[in-house]
Amino acid sequence: MLNVDKLFPRLSIRAKLVVAFCFFGVVPVAVVGGYGALHSYILLNDATRDRLKAGVVMKAEEMQRFLRGVHEDVLYLAGLPTVQALVDLPPGAGAARDRLAARLGNEFLSFSRARSVYHQVRFIDETGREVVRVDFDGERPHIVASGALQSKRDRYYFTDAMATPPGSVYVSPMDLNVEHGAVELPHRPAVRYAVPLRPRGEPRGIVILNLHASKILGQVLALGRELGSVSLSSSTGYYLSRSEWVRGATDPPFARRAEWLSRDFAPALAATILGGAAGTLVEPGFGGRIAAYAPIFPHFERRSEFWVLTHAYGKREVLSSIWSLQLLVMALGAGVLGIAVLLGVVAARHFTRPITALSVAAEAVASGDYAQRVRVETNDELEDLARHFTQMATGLERRERELRDATERAERKAMESQALYGIGTEVLGLLALPRILDLVADKARALLRADVAILCVGAPDGALRLGAVSGATRVLDLAPGDRIPVCACARAGCVEVFCPAVVGTPFATHLAVPMKSRDRVVGDLCVAFFEPRSVGSDEREFLTGLANLATIAIEKARLHDEVTELTRLEERERIAADLHDGIIQSIYAAGLGLEECLRLADEAPAEMKRRLDELIDALNVVIRDVRNYVVGLRPERLQDRDISQALAELARGLSLNGLLDLDLELEPGIQDLLTPPQTAELYHICREALTNVIKHARASRVVLSAARDGDALRVTVEDDGVGFEVPARRQTGQGLHNMADRARRLGGDLAVESARGRGTRITVAIPAGVAA
């Protein structure tokens, strides 16, 4: 064995201790510090590249989704019916063109209010003249007056957009907006998305969106708020924006001078960045940069034209923390060296071999070896110290064992709680009752390490049926769905046996808990073990918690079935009411029209043909109404009309079919008081009331009026027919019943006034607060 004392024969014990303390104090710090600095450099380099690439790719994908929305917006505007009607107009249709242009201006204005990222929405005809234009000034959109509209015939984007193939979207380069032949001040960078309009192959103009490019550039430059520089360049390497250009809050983020990517990066690196794929690169040398880049494709049909988002960090910025770590290691090493020298001098005067032995034992105890014992026989204070150390180690060993047991119990509780949470999440996500029962049984058996788990559910007659079983099913005589015998069920109160798991089976240990919903038992959950074993309170609590989760899931599944059935009944009632108030009345009106055609067949054949054409159109509307009612949409007559227009058309048709005078007295502006659902309900009430007049009243004149009445909107249908005795609510027919229900849904009420020989008046009053 090597004798350490003879390694330094000429050194005193003090010198040996000083050297030893210095060696064992400084060397580990130097090794650990050097390794930490090197490893930190590698990790920081890799982490920076990954973080840069992830940030750039996420931002590029975000911008790609944004630009796809712009692409879809311009296609949506080009497909507007008003746009199609405008381009289909023949030359010389000035009045119709003005009306369509005004309507299109309002549609563009509504669109601009919902999409504030566009500072211009325009329709330009084939001559390059702006027909409709909506500008957004940063606060609100407005329609540009016809006198301020300009000709864009000489602008490149008009020529290029008109030459774009049909069905494609043209995307312009990012540049500054030009108005009246000069660059707009303050500068406003824009990217234009346009769709050419070619009905029947003839160019009729373009629909174009001016996207405010500052919305894009601001989000791009936000990447460089903390460290590094951010830039956006074209596929040719021309910078569109750079974070270096924005020094203050008022600096514009767009290009003010021609700068190229190839001036900032080596040609090979610049070619890599402009290659059209995402990636990272590292410039050589400590003064180089770490850069991540990703392409953004504004034009989804031409992948050769794109922008490149680049985020670069200087290595000095990224790795500055390495220098701090090295300085910290050097300072720590110097401190450790000083402490080592001081302790070496002190230890040389006082330490002896027993103290060394105690020190070694103490280090072992500190590392977790509490079995260390020190025997010193010096018959002095050192011996007392060794005895106290032994007592301390014994006490620590006992407390460590107790702490380990407590930790194991806590971890077991945490695992059970986590398992209950996970099971609850899985169970509550299922609605099929058999799958719920199987999942609960499987989890109970797996987590309690049982040999079998049985879940019984209550039957309608109060008994139990086997809902699910997991584990050693070969030893059971029952299968899921089987009825459990009375004397084989603890719920039945049998004294001899308790559960199917212990009736004629080799299971030695059994644990069961009830599943309760309030005071009602909905089933039982039990586990069984082949081997005899004790069942702790923790296991019983866990099984109870699992049973509670199963109970909640079972009740949830049952409630879901009830809600589904209720929804089905409500939908059936809605369709029945819509068919009675809408379809049947329309078919009845068509029948009256056909009777009129029989009368006109001999008297006026030409008039009969015109009436037949109208009836065919009316029946087509009925067919579309049937489809709309099935899927819950509005009637066909309300698809593109307000309540005043729809009632006027209804009155005209019923007046012709019923051969009576029908007067309309509608206060202007009442359509502004109704939402689309309220409009549909009120329309059905009026149609049912007018149809009843034709069918039953034998009237010669009917008045339909609608007007504000204080805080209410009042609609009245009054005729001079034969009248009738108003029945009680529960004795009314389907029509009056449906009208009353619709009025109640509008927040108002329905009043019927009639007497035999004195006509009938039906009044619907809707509170203004509800109508508005």
Hey, how many other C-beta atoms are within 10 angstroms of the C-beta on 558? 14
pLDDT over threshold 50, residue 250: yes
Predicted pLDDT of residue 124: 92
Residue 349 in this model has a pLDDT that exceeds 90:
no
pLDDT (tens digit, 9 = 90+) per residue, 640-681? 778 888 888 878 777 766 667 888 888 888 877 788 778 888
| Superfamily for the 643-772 domain | Histidine kinase-like ATPase, C-terminal domain (3.30.565.10)
**Model confidence at 632, in pLDDT bands (50, 70, 90)?**
very low
Per DSSP bridges, beta strands 712-719 and 701-709 are antiparallel
Sheet harboring 239-242: ordered strands across? 239-242, 229-234, 307-314, 289-296, 279-282
Using left for φ > 0, alpha for ψ between -120 and 50, and beta otherwise, residue 765 falls in beta
- 3-class DSSP state of 669: coil
The span from the CA of 708 to the CA of 715, in Å, is 9
* Residue 181 exposed, middle or buried by CB count within 10 Å (0-12, 13-18, 19+): exposed
Share of the chain above pLDDT 70, in %: 74
**Which carries the bigger pLDDT value, residue 200 or residue 77?**
77
Residue 678 near residue 767, CB atoms below 8 Å: no
Residue 103 vs residue 421, higher pLDDT: 103
Predicted confidence at residue 195, as pLDDT, reads 92
List the beta bridge partners of residue 718: 703, 761
Instruction: Summarize pLDDT for 134-149 with one digit per residue, the tens.
Output: 999 878 999 999 888 9
Say if CB 660 and CB 653 are below 8 A apart. Answer: no
What does the alpha-carbon distance between residue 630 and residue 625 come to, in Å, rounded to a whole number? 9
Q: Which of 295, 277, 278, 122 is nearest to 209 (CA)?
A: 122
Residue 173: asked if its preceding bond is cis (omega within 30°), the reply is: no
Residue-wise DSSP of 186-238: S--EEEEEEEEE-GGG---EEEEEEEEHHHHHHHHHGGGSSSSEEEEEETTSB
**Confidence class of residue 718 from pLDDT cuts 50, 70 and 90?**
very high
Q: Are 515 and 547 in contact (CB under 8 A)?
A: yes
Lowest mean pLDDT among 112-116, 259-263, 700-704: 259-263
22 vs 16: CA distance, rounded Å? 10
| Tokens 């629909």 found at | 207
CB 237 within 8 A of CB 260: yes
Q: Which residue has the tokens 């005004």?
A: 102
Question: pLDDT category, 17, cuts 50, 70, 90?
Answer: low
The pLDDT of residue 760:
92
Count Cβ atoms below 10 Å from residue 120 Cβ, excluding itself.
Answer: 23
Residue 692: other Cβ atoms inside 10 A: 21
**What sections of 283-380 are H helices per DSSP?**
315-318, 320-350, 353-366
**Exposed (0-12), middle (13-18) or buried (19+): which is 579, by Cβ within 10 Å?**
middle
As a whole number, the mean pLDDT across the chain is: 77
520: left (phi over 0), alpha (psi -120 to 50) or beta: beta
Query: Given this model, what pLDDT does residue 527 score?
Result: 87
Contact predicate 547/513, CB 8 Å: yes
SS3 146: helix
Predicted confidence band of residue 497 (pLDDT cuts 50, 70, 90): very low
8 A C-beta contact, residue 746 and residue 734 = no
Closest CA to 55 of 254, 215, 220: 220
CA dist., res. 216 & res. 296, Å (int)? 11
How far, in Å, CA of 223 to CA of 580, rounded? Answer: 61
pLDDT confidence of 348, banded at 50, 70, 90? low
Q: What does the pLDDT look like over 98-143, one tens digit per residue?
A: 898 899 999 999 999 988 888 899 999 999 999 999 999 878 999 9
Q: What is the dihedral of CA 434, 437, 438, 444, to 10 degrees?
A: 180
Phi, psi torsion values for 298, nearest 5 degrees: -70, -25
Task: Tell me the torsion sign for CA atoms 606, 611, 614, 619.
Answer: negative
pTM over 0.75: no
Label the pairing between strands 661-666 and 701-709: parallel
First to last CA, the chain: 101
HEC string for 21-89: HHHHHHHHHHHHHHHHHHHHHHHHHHHHHHHHHHHHHHHHHHHHHHHHHHHHHHHHHHCCHHHHHHHHC
For the segment 206-249, what is each residue's pLDDT rounded down to a tens digit? Answer: 999 998 877 777 777 777 666 678 888 888 888 887 777 776 55
Question: 384: number of CA atoms within 13 Å, CB side?
Answer: 2
Specify the pLDDT at position 344.
Answer: 62
Q: What's the whole-number mean pLDDT along residues 40-49?
A: 74
Q: Where are the domains of the chain?
A: 79-216, 643-772
The answer to whether 129 and 146 have CB atoms below 8 angstroms apart is no
As its CATH architecture, domain 79-216 has: 2-Layer Sandwich (3.30)
Residue 427 has pLDDT above 90, yes or no: no
pLDDT at 494: 41
- At 195, phi and psi to the nearest 5? -125, 125
The letter for the amino acid at 129 is R
The three-state (H, E, C) secondary structure of 483-515, written as one string: ECCHHHCHHHCCCCCCCHHHCCCCCCEEEEEEE
**Burial class, 161, CB count within 10 angstroms (exposed 0-12 / middle 13-18 / buried 19+):** buried
The pLDDT of residue 119: 86
Least confident of 367-381, 388-402, 442-456, 706-720: 367-381
Residue 603 clears pLDDT 90, i.e. is over it = no
How far, in Å, CA of 763 to CA of 761, rounded? 7
